[in-house]
Structure 1
Amino acid sequence: MNAVIDDLSWRGLLAHTTDLDALGAHFDEGPVKTYVGFDPTAPSIHMGNLVQIMVHRALQRAGHRPVLLVGGSTGLIGDPKQAGERVMNDVDVVAGWVERIRSQVGRLIDLDGPHAGTLVNNLDWTSGISALDFLRDVGKHFSVNRMLDREVVKSRLEAGISYTEFSYVLLQSLDYRELYRRYGVTLQTGGSDQWGNITAGVDLIRRSEGARVHALATPLLTKSDGVKFGKTESGTVWLDPEMTSPYAFHQYFLNAEDEMVVSYLKVFSERSHEEIDDIAAQQAEKPFLRVAQRALANDITDLVHGVGERQGAEAAAAALFGRSELRDLDARTLAAVATQLDAATVQVGETWPSVVDALAESGVVASRSAARRAIEEGGAYVNNMKVTEPDARLSQEDLLGGQMVIVRRGKKTVGALRIQR
């Protein structure tokens, strides 16, 4: 078997291929042009998209050349989803998202050197095609019966699906063919939920070009309860630092489940098999040390946000739990911490709130009486300073970054307040 396929398989990144042996032989023939697409249905890509980037980084390390497509045209339509019809976004909004996502993916793939990647926008070749040409040149190769047989379409038929979303598969197939013609692309990857779209492109190239190309799908990553990995109670984990702060991003991976963390590490870390196996052994022996979680959080934050942002996230976490100085954190990091802690907002008039009120408002204790007990027992802190007086009040001097106060009960229960005057 081919070495890159062996690596992808070991990392748990193979769910389906059109023909695994043929794909391995194709890799052995020399550098392969590979492609994956990202539709701009939001201002940023997310963790599911990052899986595909990790696949193409692995392919690039093995000497192959990735083509990363941002769907300026397909993003105007939207792939059908189980939940129902997508809302079509304004053309100018989608164009702005295209540029933001191009910038994101361009930082994560090497665009220089002997195996340089290429960024493309499918609007470049779809915008000039007439409806008549599209139907004659692409639509004639598609069976409606096969299109109806797609799982997502079957699930939507009873509630209804628009012709626009029903026809999305034709546009994605056209992309594969166009990239085959323009760049010699012979492999498309995607999540397993995209398998029908991907193989439709393989079939279009076979029918219209008489050529054999390949497809590879990765499993959908989930948590142990079946929820998609990268989803939280507050929403999606985005790669854009304005949508998910580097601190929240780092914390998300630090909190990965013990039973799943090694699987995630194989996907999102570029450490060697031997190093990951060693981390897995340490994790199994002493899971309370959370060696795998730290490796995962550090590696993926370094990749997406850079070493400096990861160090800032670590410094913020250390400061929260009294291991460094909270006042050294910048306002942006403090704001991210407050959001992550679901900070309560407190209006201050002539009288500042008591520490008892602050502890209760922040949610670190269940009641004012519990807050008073925490103070009396020596377990209450404001900005990491122990509070010993049950009647103590906050003051202007307690504000971090001009508006934040961090409160803590014991070693691990932390909360925050936003003070407004």
Structure 2
Amino acid sequence: MNIYDTLKERGYIAQVTHEEEIRKLLAEEKISFYIGFDPTADSLHVGHFLGMMVMAHMQRAGHRPICLIGGGTATVGDPSGRTDMRQMLTDEMIEHNCNCFKKQMQRFIDFTDDKALMVNNGEWLHKLNYINLLRDVGPHFSVNRMLTAECYKQRMEKGLTFLEFNYMIMQAYDFMELNHRYNCKMEMGGDDQWSNIIAGVELLRRKDETPAFGLTFTLLTTSEGKKMGKTAKGALWLDPKKTSPYDFYQYWRNVSDADVKKCLALLTFLPMEEVNRLGSLKDKEINDAKKVLAFEVTKMVHGEEEAIKAKEAAEALFSGSGVLDNVPTIKLSSNTIGSKIIDILVQEKIFASKGEGKRLIQQNGLSINDEKLNDIDKILSCEDFIDNSCMIKKGKKKYYRLILQ
């Protein structure tokens, strides 16, 4: 099957610039293509995961991914999807974040023997001469048309800065530079990047009269249209120090029934026959599909060993079998005895605030050793520990093990 049809069948493709030309190109040539990643944090999150899956599918079909790290554009800030201006980063912060990204990407993409490239656009953007850029690229951009782009509309209400206005031009320039350096023929990205991607395609076609193509993939959203990967603690990170493998596993284990099939298609390499079979399960049986989803995604991001540990921890809690060693564990010093439970849980970031803790307790949503806690001022005592261990259950499905040192 043509890789284009594979991506379409699995539900990745949102919009394309030249569908029939792209399908023909991907069938007849092995091309270089790129996806951009802004290094605004020291870890990728689950929103980036979809892009890496697209790159992995393309690479398996013989095409070469270029992971473009926005070391230059990150100093400006992408206005897409924003109502406020992004924080500007120092060169040192950007370099550190880029290094973190590459380590995570290597789990998905094979960078050996130039099978994939990682490039930082700071390499050319920092050297640009402003006058030359205006003369070279400026005539190919209509300000009127740029202002109609969705990425700018959302910023117009609070005020779009000239700094951010340049972002589309810089991203288009990236595509042109990658085409000149590596014969890159296609830019891919999330559907919120459509305006920026069109700008790059049109710049190459107008200025260089070079065939260039754009493709956006669907954003990772729930059946209700909300972005996936948001948790009570913030984003669902791919760094195990930011989101533990257990919490990562549990996120996918607990997705809604309506989202299971889509997640299996987009976030695993399971054959579509198996995806369709698992996605068609109903009622209690859908939990089997969720277990497969959680294990497969965790295995890709954190490795098989961590996926097995997370699975065993979940089974130990929910079925009463196995060991609890892999359950999220918090070590407390003995002088914690005598403190309020709610203060301890806020300090250990199980609750974001005392207000959240109080509300959950009032709603009978917190248990200690399987007993509902209804006293907001409950003091932690030695009697709460059995063999130096105390089990906290938050809501219906989140467990934490407190251990006295």
Report the TM-score range of the alignment, normalised by the length of the smaller protein. 0.7 to 0.9
Matched position secondary structure for 2:30:
coil
Q: 1:399 aligns with which of 379, 383, 388?
A: 388
CA displacement, residues 234-293 of structure 1 (integer Å, 9 cap, x when unaligned): 321111111111111110000011011101110001011222222223x23x54451221
Q: Partner residue of 1:304?
A: 301
Q: Deviations over 1:105-154 (max 9, x none)?
A: 233201136x8111111111112112222222222321111211111212
The equivalent residue for 2:329 is: 334
Q: Which amino acid aligns with 1:101?
A: F
Q: Which AA in structure 1 matches 2:329? A: L
The answer to which of 88-97 and 160-169 deviates more is: 88-97
Tell me, which stretches of 5 or more residues in structure 2 are unaligned? 342-356, 373-380
Cα distance change on mapping 1:131 and 1:275 into 2, 3 Å: same
Retained in 2: the 8 A contact 1:346–1:420? no
Partner in structure 1 of residue 336 of structure 2: 347
Q: Quick one: structure 1 residues 234 and 363, their matched pair in 2 at CA, closer, same or farther if it must change by over 3 Å?
A: same
Long gaps (5+) in structure 1: 353-360, 382-390
After superposition, give the CA deviation of every residue in 1:53-106 in whole Å (9 maximum; x if it has no partner): 111111111111111111111122211033211121233212211111122123
1:162 maps to amino acid: T
Sort the Cα spacing of 1:176 and 1:277 in 2 relative to 1 into closer, same or farther, 3 A: same
Once the two structures are TM-superposed, the CA of residue 28 in structure 1 deviates from its matched residue by 2.0
Where has structure 1 moved over 3 Å in runs of 4 or more?
286-289, 349-352, 361-368, 412-421
What is the alpha-carbon distance in structure 2 between the residues aligned to residue 346 and residue 10 of structure 1?
A: 58
Are the aligned partners of 1:43 and 1:97 in contact in 2 as well (CA < 8 Å)?
yes
The answer on 1:82 being equivalent to 2:82 is yes
Note if contact 1:32-1:186 (Cα within 8 Å) is conserved in structure 2.
yes
1:181 Cα deviation after fit: 0.6
Length, aligned pairs only: 379
The residue that corresponds to 1:313 in the other structure is 310
Corresponding residue SS for 1:195: helix
Structure 2 counterparts to residues 21-420 of structure 1, below 5 A:
21-80=20-79, 81-112=81-112, 116-281=115-280, 283-284=281-282, 286-321=283-318, 322-326=320-324, 328-329=325-326, 333-335=328-330, 347-349=336-338, 380=371, 393-395=383-385, 398-400=387-389, 405-407=390-392, 415-416=399-400, 418=402
* TM-score for the superposition, normalised by structure 2: 0.84
Q: Secondary structure, in 3 states, of the residue corresponding to 2:68?
A: strand
Secondary structure of the corresponding residue to residue 398 of structure 1: coil
RMSD: 3.3
Asked if 2 retains the 8 angstrom alpha-carbon contact of 1:364 and 1:415, the reply is no
Map of 2:351 onto structure 1:
none
- Identity fraction in percent: 35
Q: Does 1:3 find its partner at 2:2? A: yes
The whole-number CA distance in structure 2 between the counterparts of 1:254 and 1:299 is 11
Aligned partners of 2:170, 2:363: CA distance in 1, in Å?
58
Shift of 1:413: 6.7
Larger mean Cα displacement after TM superposition, 44-53 or 131-140: 131-140
CA distance in structure 1 between the partners assigned to 2:315 and 2:109 by the alignment = 32
The one-letter code sitting in structure 1 at the alignment partner of 2:116 is: G
Partners of 2:314 and 2:388 in 1: CA distance = 18
Q: 1: CA distance between counterparts of 2:73 and 2:323?
A: 48
Are the counterparts in 2 of residues 34 and 186 from structure 1 also a CA contact under 8 Å? Answer: yes
SS at match of 1:267: helix
TM-score, normalised to structure 1's length? 0.81
Amino acid at match of 1:398: D
Q: Hey, what's the Cα distance between the residues in 2 that align with 1:152 and 1:144?
A: 14
1:13 shift after superposition: 0.7
The aligned amino acid for 2:301 is V
| Cα shift at 1:407 | 4.3
Deviations 1:366-398, CA, capped at 9 Å, x for gaps: 699x98xx99xxx659xxxxxxxxx99135x63
Q: Indicate the residue corresponding to 1:356 in structure 2.
A: none
8 Å contact kept, 1:362–1:417: no
Give the counterpart letter for 2:384 in structure 1.
Answer: L
**Contact 1:362-1:407 at 8 Å conserved across structures:** no
Label 1:398 to 1:3 Cα distance change in 2 as closer, same or farther (>3 A). same
Contact 1:173–1:202 (8 Å) recurs in 2 = yes
